[in-house]
Amino acid sequence: LGPAINDATLRVLTRLGAQVVLPRGVGCCGALVFHLGDRPGSLPHMRANIDAWHAEMRRGGLDAIVINTSGCGSVVKDYGHIFRDEPAYAEKAAAVSAITRDFSEVADALGLPEETRAPEPLRVAYHDACSLQHGQKIRAQPRSLLDGAGFTVLDLPEGHLCCGSAGTYNLLQPEMAAALGRLKAGHIARVAPQVVAMGNIGCMEQIARYSDVPVLHTAELLDWALGGPMPQALRRSVGAQT
């Protein structure tokens, strides 16, 4: 749904001094299936990732496994617990979970260069994905990064509430999801931002359905501030205004 997010993530991490590797064999993390309650159906996906990441850990060492979708990250961080009673995977899963980090955690730890400045000091409303703020207890790092890049960061009213995406909830419970989406869009309108940032593709797709404000991943804005291309959603917005 958002390949530009991965491209931006790779560029940001590289610019901040990280050596990024893309191990073969990594695919779906199993989060969507797991959250739907189909635990047996999710486990093969998880085992494949554990094998791929653990092999890379043994081959060359990894300081972190970086996840740029918080719904996925909350589950990968839980692999150790999920496989705690499976002898063949308990140790490997725990090792993987121990070094799994959200993109914002790693970028914040590496630190932005002092000269980092956004081409335009946009007003950015930050949306806390439930899987990031409640699941992973991460709120400060994305705001700190956006502020450090020269953006004006705005908090949303009732920011603790779900946007209605919640994995596949917006597909399976469309009426309730739509009500939550419209509520979130109303809160966005109240703070009058020029862009909305977040760290989860599910939230991005959901909020973009109900808000006319450009919706971007945190990595895309940081990439732009570090010399990368203007994010596509902003280019569309500028084009619409001209």
Concatenate the DSSP letters of all residues of 97-147 into one string: HHTEEEHHHHHHHH---TT---SS--EEEEP--HIIIIIS---HHHHHHHH
Mean of the per-residue pLDDT values of the chain: 94
Angle at 83 between CA 77 and CA 89, to 5 degrees: 105
Least confident segment among 55-64, 97-106, 210-219: 55-64
217, β-bridge pairs: 198
The pLDDT value recorded for residue 122 is 97
The pLDDT value recorded for residue 242 is 38
Task: Give, for 199, the enclosing helix (H) or strand (E).
Answer: none
What pTM does this model have? Answer: 0.93
How confident is the model over 59-72, as a mean pLDDT?
93
pLDDT more than 90, % of the chain: 86
With 60 as the cut, is the pLDDT of residue 241 above it? no
How confident is the model over 83-108, as a mean pLDDT?
98
The pLDDT value recorded for residue 214 is 97
Name the pLDDT band for 100 (thresholds 50, 70, 90). Answer: very high
How confident is the model over 44-51, as a mean pLDDT?
97
Q: What is the pLDDT of residues 2-21, one digit of tens each?
A: 999 999 999 999 999 999 99
With 90 as the cut, is the pLDDT of residue 91 above it? yes
Name the pLDDT band for 239 (thresholds 50, 70, 90). Answer: low
pLDDT more than 70, % of the chain: 98
Coil, strand or helix at 44: helix
Q: In this structure, what token pair is assigned to residue 41?
A: 């159906």
Amino acid at position 158, single letter: E
How confident is the model over 126-145, as a mean pLDDT?
96
The pLDDT value recorded for residue 240 is 52
**Residue the block writes with tokens 């969507």:** 32
How confident is the model over 159-170, as a mean pLDDT?
87
The pLDDT value recorded for residue 84 is 97
